[in-house]
Amino acid sequence: MDFPLYAPAEEHDMLRETVRALADEKIAPRAAEADEAGEFPWDVYKALVATDLHAIHVPEQYGGAGGDALAAVIVIEEVARACASSSLIPAVNKLGTVPLLLSASEEVKARYLGPVARGDAMFSYALSEAEAGSDAAAMKTRAVRDGDHYVLNGAKMWITNAGVSEYYTLMAVTDPAAGARGISAFVVEKSDEGVSFGPKERKLGIRASPTRQVILDNVRIPETRMIGAPGSGFKTALATLDHTRVTIAAQALGIAQGALDYAIGYVKERKQFGRAIADFQGLQFMIADMAMKLEAARQLTYHAAAKSELAMHGQPQKDLTFLSSAAKCAASDAAMEITTDAVQLLGGYGYTQDFPVERMMRDAKITQIYEGTNQIQRMVMARQLLK
């Protein structure tokens, strides 16, 4: 019998059990405290590293676990069910390293993927700027050639895990006259002279994951740290997002699942008018709609993950761009609706920090914004459909 290519295999189900057990034991109990303090959860990072779940996508040849795209989705989803901030550890490690996997020289891959696989370093992605968010090609950060080096100047904005990551895939303009074709990609190290970070942004959600500016002041790096050919950086950036929008969809699924699970437990216990509120049809319909939206988004996300995996292995998928945008958009919109409904189902309790659903609602919002706002995703989808 020929099963559809996005059906999880037995090893995926076993992986889910492993991650969920770890998340329930080590991550969920820390989530509220980490959110409140706004501190990166190093203990969670160590627990993920100890179980090889911090960057499961890194190929075995670089010392990684060699997990496929669906494995990465399941890890991110299950960690996000407990703590959205913590799920950015495997998600951003993938975001930062996919440009290398797609475009970098063997030398660059060998040098930088090993430390990530071992848990010695995290990898962030630096594309956006203060005046170049949705219009990323309008970036101003410059990389000027100087012999066999490049000198970088500029500032990157909204960089997830900035300051805690050792390495950064960073896009900069190498040929200002060439527009998007004049952008190149580089690996920048936290320890490079002239690299500094802005203050931590004070955010609505994902508070335990630092978001900061990456500031470059005459940062001189060898030309060997360019990812791919000069001028190919923007193409690499867009190709990367085709793969990593799927991981944001996964994060949204996990946040939504956590909220739905909590809400179901609550409505079965909470009594009003002499019976459990789960007995009221109005609330039953809310729960049914939440679960239906979540499962629809999940199937779309797993399908996109399967396409992503084929594309990473040299089998171009002409519908990957559409599917990854659709998955990210559908899952994040669903997560916002589901978490908002979960707050509603808990009533006054849902609005307090004594219960986790208000945090989940705050965390869900960012999934509609980062890695391309959902308005941009709709533009991307429409362009794919109409071209």
The C-alpha atoms of residue 101 and residue 124 are separated, in whole angstroms, by 14
Q: How confident is the model at residue 170 (pLDDT cuts 50, 70, 90)?
A: very high
Segment 90-105 mean pLDDT: 98
Supply angle C-alpha 200, 202, 204, rounded to 5. Answer: 135
The C-alpha atoms of residue 171 and residue 154 are separated, in whole angstroms, by 11
DSSP 235-259: HHHHHHHHHHHHHHHHHHHHHHHHH
Please confirm, yes or no, whether 371 is among the known catalytic residues: yes
Over residues 313-355, the pLDDT tens digits come to 999 999 999 999 999 999 999 999 999 999 999 999 999 999 9
Over residues 281-323, the pLDDT tens digits come to 999 999 999 999 999 999 999 999 999 999 999 999 999 999 9
Instruction: Give the amino acid at 255.
Output: I
DSSP 258-273: HHHHHHHHHHHH-EET
Q: How confident is the model at residue 7 (pLDDT cuts 50, 70, 90)?
A: low
The C-alpha atoms of residue 28 and residue 22 are separated, in whole angstroms, by 9
CATH architecture of 10-118: Orthogonal Bundle (1.10)
Catalytic residue, candidates 77, 129, 358, 371: 371
Cα dihedral 114, 324, 132, 90 sign:
negative
Q: Specify the fold of 234-386.
A: Butyryl-CoA Dehydrogenase, subunit A; domain 3 (1.20.140)
Instruction: Give the amino acid at 41.
Output: P
The secondary element (H helix, E strand) that includes residue 167 is strand 167-173
Beta strand pairing call for 195-197 and 211-222: antiparallel
Over residues 229-260, the pLDDT tens digits come to 999 999 999 999 999 999 999 999 999 999 99
Over residues 141-158, the pLDDT tens digits come to 999 999 999 999 999 999
Domain boundaries, the chain: 10-118, 123-231, 234-386
The C-alpha atoms of residue 203 and residue 158 are separated, in whole angstroms, by 11
Pick 123-231's CATH classification: 2.30.110.10, 2.40.110.10, 3.50.50.60, 3.40.50.970. 2.40.110.10
